[in-house]
Structure 1
């Protein structure tokens, strides 16, 4: 006689998908309340924080007169660059050691390790995307330092690839941090190394040829170049390879999911 499935787990793929959607929704609400619910402006801080940081960077670059060296709008340059940094930086930091404070949740059979990662990553994507969109709208409405994107579909496509890459990298780092504590010690310094190399602070077209070949191996550079090409592509020559970026996204996702499975088996053994 067949053993019935436990209540709430469902029998078919679609039923299990609905269960996972409810689990991730509940984890999202829990994460929002835990992180923002009892602090100052609450969940509004989710996108207010990246907005403030991006505005400060834009003001500093404008004050130093960097806009005088190019006809590229400095506000758009700063918003596109620093918003991308916050996407992969915050997402990766939230996934490293994310299981330890949520270990009790894994006692519930519908809750998986990947669900905890997805909830945290979706929250970061929502906050950073909202701040990115609001900053663009605010500068368009109240300032002449930014022009409308030349290709809004390319901007959306590039941002989606940026988020996909960040999620794959974050899952990989999160699963790896469960196997060794060295990830939590070495990743923060690596973040500061990737800051100047991620393409957020420069355009590939202005670099010497030898440097162009070097930065072409860094996937974040391709995402930044594509994002800026959608904003002001007529002002510069973009250098990016979509297939290379997608290859990195797929590779990181496969590696991260496989590593997550290995981590689960390691804990059960």
Structure 2
């Protein structure tokens, strides 16, 4: 504390060292929460990380075989497994991220009473761990399908990376808002679980937008995940170029829930912890 010319005490501005120290504390808190999450979510379950890989693999295999029995060729390309995987893995990135981020404060509730652990640390820890695991699982599955079936295609890694990033950011955005709603309105967690079950059927996992009738296109266009699956498939199929994708619409879906969730949690996180 220093004094001004008139003798009144003044508070010094934070120095770069203080800022780096604050950033370092946040990084340490997030790292510790990630390690705790890893040991809790994967370390206590037989098989651990293996289930994170086997679950989507099993679903893709079932979908691939089922559709191969009713159709001679997939809608795009020659592989039923690749077609289903490019849709399912995008949806999985969104849903898992939204669910895990939405339950972040509830999972780390006991730790949030410590002054050095903030609600934002808990949210970011779950987000970073989820995208790390889900991205690794996605890369393993898609690489395995391409090599196993000897698929020759020209991959657009920009579109693939963009699609997975958008799915992760939308999961963070919706999850941030859910993090508030799950605690403020407990029944919302059940409503969310029920309302997201049809996502598998309406998000482009088993079809492409262009194959829908006009009425279906007009309705399902408002599902933002359908736009992201279109971007993902644009990266795997050189001849497929979806024209229905709206970047403005995707931006609204990412920014609006994120801002709402951040503002609500910043204002009411103490009330939520003391409920």
TM-score w.r.t. length of structure 1: 0.86
1:153 to 140, 151, 158: 158
1:134 paired residue number: 140
1:143 paired residue number: 149
2:113 paired residue number: 107
1:14 paired residue number: 20
More helix as a share of residues: 1
Equivalenced residues, count: 260
1:182 paired residue number: 187
User: CA contact under 8 A between 1:20 and 1:115: conserved in structure 2?
Assistant: yes
Offset at residue 141 of structure 1 (A) = 1.7
2:83 counterpart of 1:77: yes
1:196 to 201, 225, 228: 201
2:210 paired residue number: 205
User: CA contact under 8 A between 1:66 and 1:74: conserved in structure 2?
Assistant: no
Superposition RMSD in Å: 2.4
Cα gap change, 1:171/1:147 in structure 2, threshold over 3 Å: closer, same or farther? farther
Worse overlay, 155-164 or 93-102: 93-102
Cα gap change, 1:172/1:66 in structure 2, threshold over 3 Å: closer, same or farther? farther
1:232 paired residue number: 237
Cα gap change, 1:211/1:71 in structure 2, threshold over 3 Å: closer, same or farther? closer
Distance (Å, rounded) in 2 between the aligned partners of 1:70 and 1:39? 38
Distance (Å, rounded) in 1 between the aligned partners of 2:60 and 2:123? 25
Distance (Å, rounded) in 2 between the aligned partners of 1:71 and 1:244? 25
Q: Which has the larger radius of gyration?
A: 2
Cα gap change, 1:47/1:236 in structure 2, threshold over 3 Å: closer, same or farther? same
Q: Unpaired runs of 5+ in structure 2? A: 3-15
Worse overlay, 253-262 or 228-237: 228-237
Distance (Å, rounded) in 2 between the aligned partners of 1:127 and 1:107? 28
Q: Unpaired runs of 5+ in structure 1? A: 3-9
Distance (Å, rounded) in 1 between the aligned partners of 2:116 and 2:71? 52
Q: CA offsets, 1:54-111, max 9 Å, x none?
A: 333333333x243525352322211111111211222222234432342210122121
Offset at residue 134 of structure 1 (A) = 0.7
User: CA contact under 8 A between 1:32 and 1:43: conserved in structure 2?
Assistant: no
- Report the secondary structure of 1:255's partner residue: helix
2:249 counterpart of 1:244: yes
- Report the secondary structure of 1:33's partner residue: helix
- Structural mapping, 1:57-76, within 5 Å: 57-62=63-68, 64-68=69-73, 70-72=75-77, 73-76=79-82
Q: CA offsets, 1:197-232, max 9 Å, x none?
A: 222222111112232222222111111111111111
1:117 to 118, 123, 138: 123
User: CA contact under 8 A between 1:54 and 1:83: conserved in structure 2?
Assistant: no
2:258 counterpart of 1:253: yes
1:218 paired residue number: 223
1:5 paired residue number: none
Cα gap change, 1:260/1:224 in structure 2, threshold over 3 Å: closer, same or farther? same
TM-score w.r.t. length of structure 2: 0.84
2:96 counterpart of 1:90: yes
